[in-house]
Amino acid sequence: MERAYYVTTPIYYISGNPHIGHAYTTVVADVLARTARTIGPAFFLTGTDEHGQKVANAAAAAGKTPQTWCDELVPRWQSLFAAYHVAYDDFIRTTQQRHEHVVQRVFSALRERGDVYLGTYEGWYCVADETFWLESKLVAGKCPTCGRDVQWLSEDDWFFALSKYAPRLIEHYRAHPDWVRPQSVYNEMMALLEEGLEDFSISRSTFDWGIPIPDGSGVIYVWFDALLNYITAIGWSVDDARFHRFWPARVQLVGKEIARFHTLVWPAVLWALGEEAPEIVFAHGWITVEGQKMGKSLGNAVDPFALADRFGADSLRYFLLREAPFGSDFSYSDTKIAQRHNSDLGNDFGNLVHRTLSMLQRYCGGIVPPAGEAPVLERFAGLPLRVRNATLDLRFRESLEAIWELVTALNRTIEERKPWTLHKEERKRELDALLYELCEGIRRLAVLLHPVMPERMEELWQRLGAGTPIGQAWEDAFAQRIAPGTLTTLREPLFPRIDPAEE
């Protein structure tokens, strides 16, 4: 059985409503999965992280049990992803039995091996980030990530023997300099490794909202529980054949604030279980507001539902991938989204489509004419490979820039070859060839842009009267070409103009 392209997002804490930052990582994973599916099987996992003190506190504040709270919030997260046209293959919830049972099995297996052992923990803890901090890492006595107060905890805990894996981690980092990306995060993690790693507590006895420790008291630490979702969802220890079809994951996407857990702890847990580390962990940058990470707790979160209503989810997907090189932070602004929408989607691409379909109506009754020479398309024959390589290498901006070269070339060919003059001078063969080339060109653009803007591109295929080559290799979709005689439809613009000043 062919190995599948396995891509994951973090599982999100459901301590509140989702914001555009959560949509961001999930949309990126969706674009990767949709692109990977054009060349083979792919599996895309997302979900929710439902245990821990933070979720328990949020539920208590709302006067609900944690389970009721989670059950009520999960549909909100799922509808967010639906609103953003995300097609995941599985949505895992850490309160599901399929997860809880396997996490307990992992705990017991590691205890037997001696990688999980009983000790006493004393130290500083940040509830908001569910993270322990060494005193030396605190900033003015507060959490270095979110700036909030930390608590002193002292309890008998189960520990994971992370320090034992430090030499193997260093070796792995040296042998696979690309396994943590971008480079800045790799360097940061390598520096932490060189400082040395400590064993850390993986149990809690001060509250009970978590997976119970097998044959003991207390619950399993939420991060230990959460990381395991990536393998419980694909059948670790339950269905070996399925597990090995997906693992090791091709790409695990995370925000850079949780790189530490995914690139220092996670591989060690996997090795303790006799499994391989993921191939790539990509720790992307933050969407910021006035220089600060957008987040629920800072009160600067932007409602992703309202945003999708205003701009259209596909336009936002485009913006998120196009705005900054993947990995870097970028600041959120309505004006910037509106400008991108109007210039790239409305003017460049949308006008190309609208002009082509209007000329087709005017000169050919909406019917695709016979093909002739197509010099622009010939020049761009290598585009599928270029776009696929850039996308699967997580260089989304480059990938979109490459597609825009074809958009620009087709717009330019209209200006240069002037179909209106060809029509006036009754040079029918040349006019037909040009209109055919434009129709086929926009069909190809829809093929390449489908992973990024699936709903709008399916609409475009319909207007073109063309089939929907979803999941087909792009080279095959290119080779099929639109049939002369196909009836096209002219409708309202694909990306109607948005007033950037409007609030």
Contact 246, 234 (CB under 8 A): yes
Closer to ligand ME8 by CB, 150 or 364: give it: 150
- For every residue of 4-25, DSSP letters joined together read PEEEEEEEEE-SS---HHHHHH
Contact 200, 223 (CB under 8 A): no
Residue 259 CB, nearest approach to ligand ME8 (Å) = 9
Closer to ligand ME8 by CB, 278 or 441: give it: 278
Closer to ligand ME8 by CB, 103 or 287: give it: 287
What is the rounded CA–CA span in Å between residue 203 and residue 201? 6
Closer to ligand ME8 by CB, 104 or 347: give it: 104
What is the rounded CA–CA span in Å between residue 383 and residue 391? 12
Q: Counting Cβ atoms within 10 Å, is residue 279 exposed (0-12), middle (13-18) or buried (19+)?
A: middle
Residue 332 CB, nearest approach to ligand ME8 (Å) = 8
Q: Are strands 131-133 and 116-126 parallel, antiparallel or unpaired?
A: antiparallel
Residue 453 CB, nearest approach to ligand ME8 (Å) = 20
Residue 94 CB, nearest approach to ligand ME8 (Å) = 9
3-state class (DSSP) for residue 308:
helix
Tell me which residue of 84, 71, 54 sits closest to 226, measured CA to CA: 54
What is the rounded CA–CA span in Å between residue 467 and residue 355? 21
Q: Are strands 200-201 and 42-49 parallel, antiparallel or unpaired?
A: unpaired
Closer to ligand ME8 by CB, 222 or 400: give it: 222
Query: According to DSSP H, which parts of 277-364 are helical?
Result: 304-311, 313-322, 334-340, 351-364
Residue 145 CB, nearest approach to ligand ME8 (Å) = 10
Closer to ligand ME8 by CB, 258 or 360: give it: 258
Q: How far is CA 323 from CA 18, 367, 397, 400, 484, in A?
A: 21, 37, 7, 10, 37
Closer to ligand ME8 by CB, 193 or 289: give it: 289
Closer to ligand ME8 by CB, 265 or 433: give it: 265
Closer to ligand ME8 by CB, 83 or 490: give it: 83
Residue 486 CB, nearest approach to ligand ME8 (Å) = 42
Question: Which residues of the chain form contacts with ligand ME8 (CB under 6 A)?
Answer: 10-13, 21-22, 24-25, 49, 226-227, 254-255, 257-258, 286-287, 293-295
What is the rounded CA–CA span in Å between residue 227 and residue 99? 11
Residue 255 CB, nearest approach to ligand ME8 (Å) = 3
Query: According to DSSP H, which parts of 137-262 are helical?
Result: 166-175, 183-195, 222-227, 229-232, 240-246, 259-260
Residue 133 CB, nearest approach to ligand ME8 (Å) = 16
Closer to ligand ME8 by CB, 7 or 442: give it: 7
Residue 294 CB, nearest approach to ligand ME8 (Å) = 4
Residue 118 CB, nearest approach to ligand ME8 (Å) = 25
Closer to ligand ME8 by CB, 296 or 355: give it: 296
Residue 286 CB, nearest approach to ligand ME8 (Å) = 4
**For tokens 């099987």, what's the residue?**
41
Contact 368, 488 (CB under 8 A): yes
Residue 229 CB, nearest approach to ligand ME8 (Å) = 6
For 293-322, letters b (16+ CB in 10 Å) and e give: bbbbeeebbbebbebbebbbbbbbbbbbbb
What is the rounded CA–CA span in Å between residue 387 and residue 305? 30
**For tokens 């948005």, what's the residue?**
498
Closer to ligand ME8 by CB, 70 or 287: give it: 287
**For tokens 């959460």, what's the residue?**
226
